[in-house]
Amino acid sequence: MLRKNIDSKYWNECSKHDRLWREPGRTLISFLAFIALFPFALAAQDTGSTSTCQACVFGGGIQMPLLFAGESGPVNLLSLSAGISAVYDDNVLDSSSPRASDEALSFDSHVGIRRRSKRSVVSFDYTPFFMLYRQISQFDRVNHSAGMNFSYKLTRRVSLALHDNVSYQNGVYPSLTNQEILAGPAAPISLDQIVVPYTTRTLVNTPGLDLAFAKTRRTSMTLTGVYSQLKFGHKVAGEPLYNSSGLNGGLTIQYSLTRRTSLGMSLSHQDTTYQGGQVFGNRLRSQIESAFLTLASTLSPSVSVSVSGGPQYVRTIDATSAAGRIPAILLAAGGGGIRKEVRKTALEATFYRSSNTSGGVYTTAISTTASFSVRRRLMGRWEVGSQVGLARDDTSIFQLKNGRTDGLSAGADITRPVGRGSVFHISYFNMHQMSSGALPISYNFSRDQVSVGFDYQFKALPLGR
């Protein structure tokens, strides 16, 4: 009888989905409503377990993944994939003492939409995943990550883009979510990509708007506005962490010097308010004015480089040090990167240093990051990838209480298709972190994760030409 009831419910659900696909108008309305309400639905889920999340690049996009020459992402498709992995984690609590290891099953899925027309481009990605630990049940929660981008060409020269990135998750799962180690110029909305705080849960929401104007074939101008929100759950140990929110704006002008070389100038204003912590004051506000010049060039069809740099003017408001009010400072920031993509090898190396607004353990800090990623095709349809990242956050220059954190992150993965739509993978990830000075928590730890599993790509549904 129970099986009959389950079958009846299953076929009822299937018939509901069939009717939904036959009513495109209702489907579109539901989809748009989901996108609009998704951040608020996540915010409504309050306290829980541990986390960090990947940073978002200025303008709302995640860093482009490494591609081989000739590879491109799917277009005009609705794709669905799911996977299961067995995981061993030797430090689930991200703590030097007590150090608790455990085994887990990871269930993950991904929904992706790519739609391109003559005047518009729509992309949407949603990745829920669930960890089921054998012993430590406090992390048995559903985690969410979603990103949306919509751009529309208003006229031949003017286009408008809306974007939002949302992450709401427990725990630190860098190797399980297929995110590469990110590095680049510090974004107005970024949480440091490698240095992570230990907390109970993290919500990040970064909606934004871009308005682009192509003056000529060689000159373009883009106005960007972003609202950033970073919210932590209950503290685990030590003092509370800093929640942050802010409004950020920027202007970018780009000029094509040649077919392969472009020169850009970007001006940005970051206004961020921190509250909830105690080390640097219960509440303070930071304003950062930045002016960068960027030179990007494609040296060959497979090699591209970029270099950027400029001054930053940083003001700390509503905070005092032992010597009185915190003076504004002027500092130099910049860095660069190189990217190479050929048929069997793709690699990227980056280095950047700049003032960074984040939250959590720190408020405003000097952030230095370096990363190297490589992807290589082997014999027999095997592929191997590896990433290494270094980071340092330092507050001493702001004359607040001194604090510094050094982070190291490294990982490797091996994949091979084993059937139609199915991929076998093995991955290893290591995180190592050392902190010193006056910080809310003494956060020194090392962590290793190993996972083995399968991912399955279901047949994609075309969305028209």
Q: Out of 361-365, 406-410, 438-442, which region has the weakest mean confidence (pLDDT)?
A: 438-442
Nearest to 343 by CA among 126, 67, 26: 67
Number of domains in the chain: 1
Look at residue 237 and tell me whether its pLDDT is greater than 80.
Answer: no
Q: What is the pTM of this model?
A: 0.76
CATH value at residue 443: 2.40.160
pLDDT band at 234 (very low <50, low <70, confident <90, very high): low
Report yes or no on 265 lying in a domain: yes
pLDDT tens per residue across span 283-308: 788 899 999 999 999 999 899 999 99
Report yes or no on 8 lying in a domain: no
Q: Out of 78-87, 119-128, 136-145, 217-226, which region has the weakest mean confidence (pLDDT)?
A: 136-145
pLDDT tens per residue across span 150-197: 999 999 999 999 999 888 877 665 444 444 433 334 333 344 455 665
pLDDT tens per residue across span 31-79: 444 444 443 333 333 333 322 222 223 333 334 566 666 666 667 889 9
Query: Domain range for residue 232?
Result: 45-462
Strand positions, DSSP E, 175-302: 202-205, 208-214, 219-232, 243-256, 261-275, 283-300
Tokens of 350: 């980056």
Look at residue 327 and tell me whether its pLDDT is greater than 90.
Answer: no
What does the alpha-carbon distance between residue 66 and residue 68 come to, in Å, rounded to a whole number?
7
Enumerate helices (H) and strands (E) in the chain, giving the number of each.
2, 22
Q: What percent of the chain has pLDDT over 70?
A: 71
What phi-psi label fits residue 70: left (phi over 0), alpha (psi between -120 and 50 degrees) or beta? left
Is 138 or 30 the better-scoring residue by pLDDT? 138
Report yes or no on 7 lying in a domain: no
3-class DSSP state of 420:
coil
Report yes or no on 20 lying in a domain: no
What does the alpha-carbon distance between residue 189 and residue 207 come to, in Å, rounded to a whole number?
10
What does the alpha-carbon distance between residue 380 and residue 384 come to, in Å, rounded to a whole number?
12
Which pLDDT score is estimated for 210?
94
What does the alpha-carbon distance between residue 220 and residue 197 come to, in Å, rounded to a whole number?
39
pLDDT band at 30 (very low <50, low <70, confident <90, very high): very low
The set of residues, in sequence order, having a beta carbon less than 8 Å from that of 7 and lying 6+ positions away, is none
Q: Around 68, how many Cα atoms within 13 Å sit in the side-chain half-sphere?
A: 10
Is 53 or 358 the better-scoring residue by pLDDT? 358
List the end-to-end C-alpha distance of the chain, in Å, as a whole number: 47
Report yes or no on 107 lying in a domain: yes
Report yes or no on 24 lying in a domain: no
Report yes or no on 70 lying in a domain: yes
Q: What percent of the chain has pLDDT over 90?
A: 31
Dihedral in degrees, nearest 10, Cα atoms 6, 12, 13, 15 = 150
Tokens of 342: 């050929």
What does the alpha-carbon distance between residue 53 and residue 189 come to, in Å, rounded to a whole number?
12
Report yes or no on 31 lying in a domain: no
> Are 369 and 352 a contacting pair, CB within 8 Å?
yes
Which pLDDT score is estimated for 255?
94
